[in-house]
Amino acid sequence: MIETHELSRRAGSQREVSFTAPAPADLGIDVIGVPEGDPIQFDLRLEAVVEGVLVTGTASGRLVGECARCLVDVEEEFLADVQELYVYPESDAEPDEASRMEGDLIDLEPALRDQVVLALPFQPLCTDDCAGLCPECGVRLSDEPGHKHEDGVDPRWSALSGLLPQQDERPQDR
């Protein structure tokens, strides 16, 4: 919550604030997100406008998750732009048009949640060229680039393998 009392309700008055706050629970998606309680750095400008207070700035912090291809742990930084209009409690604005202030307080969590989730990679990767996992044995292909398996026989064709001569068998031995 941000206190706006010192901003006054004069349109055009503004102030800049920088602070760190702990991340709320469930800030992210299944494969990557901000760990609960991790510090998030806010650098914001609060500007009084006729309808309320316009908040613009950035939020930055740490993302933790796993690579969508090879499941190795991934850690990276995020920078999310925040721009939200918070209308005064007595405003005639509809609830779905703008966020509403609670007295002189602004709750940034919903706007932060929206912006961070939009900034998240849909399928995070440990590297841009991650090769993933071997579909047969599960080994990480980036660790073993020359990884190969012998060609297996498709079970649907296995009955036909008896019709071919064996490699150690010569045609005249039959």
Each domain of the chain, given as residue ranges in start order, spans: 2-119
Q: Decide if pLDDT at 39 tops 90.
A: yes
Q: Degrees (nearest 5) of the Cα angle 17, 22, 28?
A: 110
Average pLDDT for residues 1-25, to the nearest whole number?
76
pLDDT at residue 54, as a whole number: 86
Q: Determine which of 9-18, 120-129, 160-169 has the lowest per-residue pLDDT on average.
A: 160-169
Closest CA to 18 of 39, 49, 48: 39
User: Distance of CA 22 to CAs 34, 35, 86, 123, Å?
Assistant: 10, 9, 22, 25
Average pLDDT for residues 38-51, to the nearest whole number?
88
Please give the residue that has the higher pLDDT: either 20 or 11.
20
- Tokens describing residue 154: 């498709």
- One-letter amino acid identity for 69? R
Q: Decide if pLDDT at 172 tops 60.
A: no
Average pLDDT for residues 6-33, to the nearest whole number?
81
Model confidence pLDDT, tens digit, residues 90-120? 766 666 666 776 777 778 788 888 888 888 8
- Is there a contact between 62 and 150 (Cβ–Cβ < 8 Å)? no
Q: Decide if pLDDT at 123 tops 80.
A: yes
Cα gap 52→35, rounded to integer Å: 32
To the nearest 5 percent, what fractions of the chain are helix, strand and coil? 15, 35, 50
Cα gap 48→149, rounded to integer Å: 66
pLDDT at residue 8, as a whole number: 65
- Is there a contact between 111 and 71 (Cβ–Cβ < 8 Å)? no
Cα gap 99→111, rounded to integer Å: 9
Model confidence pLDDT, tens digit, residues 69-87? 888 899 989 898 888 888 7
pLDDT at residue 30, as a whole number: 84
Please give the residue that has the higher pLDDT: either 8 or 122.
122
pLDDT at residue 97, as a whole number: 63
**DSSP letter, residue 89:** T
Q: State what percent of residues in the chain have pLDDT above 70.
A: 81
pTM of structure: 0.67
Cα gap 105→117, rounded to integer Å: 24
Cα gap 63→171, rounded to integer Å: 65
**Beta-carbon-side half-sphere exposure of residue 169 (alpha carbons within 13 Å):** 8
